[in-house]
Amino acid sequence: MKEQKKIPTSKVQRAAKLFTTGAKMGGNYVKYIAKTVAGDEKAREQLDEDNANDIYESLSELKGSALKVAQIMSMDKNMLPQAMQDKFSLAQYSAPPLSYPLVVKTFRQFFGKSPDQLFDTFTKTAVNAASIGQVHKATLGDKTLAVKVQYPGVADSVQSDLKMVKPIAMKILGLREGEVKQYFEEVESKLMEETDYEHELKQSIEIAEASRDLEGFVFPKYYPEYSSKRVLTMDWLDGMHLKEFLKTNPSQELRNQIGQRLWRLYDFQVNELKAIHADPHPGNFLIQQNGTVGLIDFGCVKRIPEDFYKKYFQLINSSVVSDDAKLRELFFDLEFIFRDEPKEVQDLFFEVFKSSMELLIRPFMAESFDFSNQSYFDELYAMGEELKSRKDIRKNGVARGSRHILYINRTYFGLFALLNELGATIETKTSFEFSE
């Protein structure tokens, strides 16, 4: 893959890049209209593919928050056209890497030395490159290390990038400003944390230590003396990304075992730690032949406020879901509906969220669940498409749902997608203690 020798870092340069992309999308749409008029049945498919290529090319050059938004969107199989989902998923671990001189510049800035002066060996080409940083392999004595280096200018451009990317994301998703404002604020907050590697170092050590007794997982050791705000050094973990692992044709028993481990990991983090690894895309898991899972990258951790936790997870309590009065009060507390809006609007959104929740919590309602069952995911997709097309919902375009829901749902949608790709059937019991 071709290396990048520079990244646009000024607001003007980054805005110009996105403006050019918008113009290309406009041109693609003009071609789409012409093909539709001419009766081309594949016009829509070609439009999605052209837009996917143009948007990804632009965002992969910008990197940082702009590319991270694409990565987040690619995790939800129901959110994007297939062409965009396939292209944007490359941001998980296959983005174009930065050239070595830029890596050396970062090391000299924070350590006063080049990588070759700090380590015995250091790969000049990145072994993985994602949205915010890239990984190099290094050795020091008898240790093999993974060294994550952040792209220049990423931390300084989070706010301006999100302002520029928001209109593109809203157009792709068919949403309005009022529906996304508080969620983009939550994304901005998390991205600011993700670009601070000193913060990531601290919470990586904390959560890895707290989760270390979980069977079937391995966590890297971290090295503060070789880390900084823009460089993070940890043990190298061997293993395969999910797609590579599945190519080895693992048994159904092993798929189920790995799926069960992933379920228990997130149940433990949600219910015991109240802090979750909220970036469950395939690039953050390394699977070994025996089914042991290496968990890396704790840059995105969602801390769950106790009051929100007690209310939100009552939604998987069958006695609450089946009681409309209790459920309505819970929806008020969680900001799905509001006490100061007309009753007909309350009733509309009560029914919308009730039917949505009944589908979303289905895995929790059974003793075991077959995540290879594609019909469940087809139902999720159909529900999303229906909600996006309903004018009675769209005309009430205000943000609904606590901002804390964004990363909780992102985590579970990501987990469901992993289990679906694994084709795992697992026990789905939870350790959440329901109040009477």
Query: Does 213 fall in a domain?
Result: no
Query: Does 411 fall in a domain?
Result: yes
Contacts of 305 (CB under 8 A, 6+ apart): 404
Burial 270-309 (b: 16+ CB within 10 A, else e): bbebebbbbbbbbbbbbbbeebbbbbbbbbbbbebeeebb
Give φ, ψ of 116 to 5 degrees. Answer: -65, -25
Q: Is 366 exposed, middle or buried (0-12, 13-18, 19+ CB in 10 A)?
A: exposed
- The number of folded domains in the chain is 1
Query: Does 279 fall in a domain?
Result: yes
**β 275-277/217-218 pair status:** unpaired
Distance, CA of 239 to CA of 397 (rounded, Å): 45
pTM of the model: 0.79
Query: Does 247 fall in a domain?
Result: yes
Query: Does 412 fall in a domain?
Result: yes
Boundaries of domain holding 432 = 239-436
Write out the chain's pLDDT in tens, 436 residues: 456 566 655 555 655 665 566 556 667 655 656 667 667 667 667 766 776 677 666 666 665 556 666 655 555 555 555 655 665 555 455 566 778 999 999 999 999 999 999 999 999 999 987 778 899 999 999 999 999 999 888 787 777 777 766 666 666 555 566 556 666 777 778 888 888 999 999 999 999 899 889 999 999 999 999 999 999 999 999 999 999 999 999 999 999 999 999 999 999 999 999 999 888 888 889 999 999 999 988 888 999 999 999 999 999 988 888 899 999 999 999 999 999 999 999 999 999 999 999 999 999 999 999 999 999 999 988 887 787 778 887 777 677 888 898 889 889 988 999 999 999 999 998 888 765 5
Q: Is 392 exposed, middle or buried (0-12, 13-18, 19+ CB in 10 A)?
A: exposed
Query: Does 296 fall in a domain?
Result: yes
Query: Does 387 fall in a domain?
Result: yes
Q: Which tokens belong to 348?
A: 């509309």
DSSP secondary structure code for residue 270 in this structure? I
Distance, CA of 305 to CA of 349 (rounded, Å): 25
Rg of the chain over all Cα atoms, to the nearest angstrom: 22
Give φ, ψ of 139 to 5 degrees. Answer: -130, 150
Query: Does 304 fall in a domain?
Result: yes
